Structure 1
Amino acid sequence: MIALLTGACAGLPSSDQGTGSPTHSEAANSAAATDDDAGKTVVARDLRWIIERLQDGQLVAAREALVAYLKREPANATAKSLLQQIDTDPVALLGKTHTTYTVRPGDTMGALAGRFLGDPLRFVALARYNGIDRARTLAAGQTLKVPTARMSQAQVVDVGGEALPAPTGSAGEREEVHRRRIEVELAAGRGDTAAAAIEQARADAPGNGAWNAWLDPMARRAMAVAQQQRGIALMERRQHEAAYEAFGQALAQEPELEPARRHRASLRGVLVAEYHKVAVVRYRNQQLDEAIALWDKALKLDPGFEPARGYRTRALELKRRLNALDAS
């Protein structure tokens, strides 16, 4: 069952490891019909089928199957937990206090439930807590509420902790919480929230030279990461020139920052090709000044780009001849 959830249904286990687990023969006979107390025919299902329906948001069908399943296997802990997650208000089940988490590529609701709630099979409650109908529909960049009622403060910091309250305790304890929170934000590529956490730390210890010794370099990195975020967003919108500039500003703060350095190198070639392509069109339309300006930009990025160099020479010569005709 854990493999089913953390692997986003890449493989389905053949049995449940809990009390009263379904057997191989039960799975083979999962389509057998039974009668409930009201005389209504209900198709017997195994837990794999039920979990798949829960991941697809089919709570009514899954609940009906769970009720039937528990009549056959009343002690099965997994089935009882899944039914409780359907029938219980998720806030009552998980608690009101929460922090937030930004979904990363490869995350699944089951894996996140295992990480933050201690049990991947609590994915139903976590999905309902976030108002998500289909647990399968997680997308990178999506923000989730993560309940903190059973977390230590250190665990909350590791989640991402945008909703983390101001640290308490001794100066050393507060410093450690601030530092860890900022490190988590930077590692996740969230420059803006890292900068906000840095400001919170500065406000907690104004003028503290020992804190500033590590806050100042973190502030520079936060600025760089924020520009990197901006560059990635611009690149995704195909605003290549603005993205190239943003990555340049990021690297001015942190020369080895990745992926800013890699993206900027890639964009250099893209921009050179784009400038040259547009310049050729301008040249053919005898918009020579515009064409020359574009080739200048291309050669500034790549002085060895011969197509731009050759066309620029021809454009200058054509411009000289046209000016001579106009003067005669």
Structure 2
Amino acid sequence: MLLNKTIKAVLLCGITMTLCACATTGNSGPSAKTLPTSENGVNEQNIALVAEAGLTPRQRMSKSIQQLELGNADVASVELNEYLLSTPDSSRARQLLKQINTPANDFYPPEFFVVELAFGQSISTLAQHYLGNALEFYALAKYNGIENPSRINTGSKIKIPLTANARSVREKDAQLAQKKQQGTEPQQAAVATDIVASKEEPQTTSVEDDSSEVLAENVPESPATIKAKLADANRAGDFAQSVSLLGILTSQNTEFDASTRLLASEALVGRADMIKANQASTAAQLYTQAADFMQQNGDDISAFDYFSLAYATDASNSEAQQKMMELQQQIVSKYHREASIAFRQQRIEEAIKKWDIVLHVDPSNTDVSAYRSQAVELQQRLKALNP
């Protein structure tokens, strides 16, 4: 027994030292190189940057955006140019390169107004709201002299260039704020309002028409009654009716609890599954709204899955893509950290499960895959010692 405990301690110590060494040197895994890096993560040695080999076009685009979020424009530029070799017609890649290569004062007009970054907002959400494109986050960051777009604190003053779109949004926001003060506008926007923003051509029997008709009826039923009907419609698979009922709930300025958000997510996903073959853009918006509800419930894994499904359904849905990538980074960071702690505390099974979550949202993460393999190997050895 004493020998078994000694071997177990040695095995744990060996792999734990590997994990600790990676954390202290800044390596991301067993195969990472310990090259000196600058503050923004770019290699300080005077060598030519080259695109990472073996990436799919989608992975390369994701890496490019991630690097821009960190302020690493040189790395992103190399990856975007490589991406264009395989996808030469990509307007997104060319637009991102234009943001990198164009001075901020030439990209946007000099006139601007200032907003304060609220809790939960980011430079990309501001770009989406005021400029109509979340992927303009890098140009907006340059406009504000922000070197690392991923590091902006709540309360920061952000200059919004006065483009035609920003001017229109600002006027609408002012009108909405005035109506709210007068008590004539619901505080919570209806689900149907978000869906109407789809760029897709309207089709018959669409979600938009269904929701609008029900909202117009102004059925005098209590939120509890409508919620019960929503649950029944979900169970019956009548998701068109479910989304209509959801529209009524939101139009009544109803405060959603966790169970209602879960029902709402089920309704939106069910309806999206039904229409995505013919109405991809609208379906992607429904998936995105479902993801938002799940994220509010604290279920980040389901939220990530729905954001991913939205982006897979409609690759032009930049909002879903941006939220998917932001959530991916949060999940990877959180669960890798927790897995490493669990491993060092000899909770091997828990560490493996947490690394499984990381690999679920980031299957190509070779470093985490290596850590998990080491943990599984250790688990098997320990079982052999204690049959």
**TM-score w.r.t. length of structure 1:** 0.36
Q: Which has the higher relative contact order, 1 or 2, with Cα contacts under 8 A spaced 6 or more apart?
A: 2
**TM-score w.r.t. length of structure 2:** 0.30
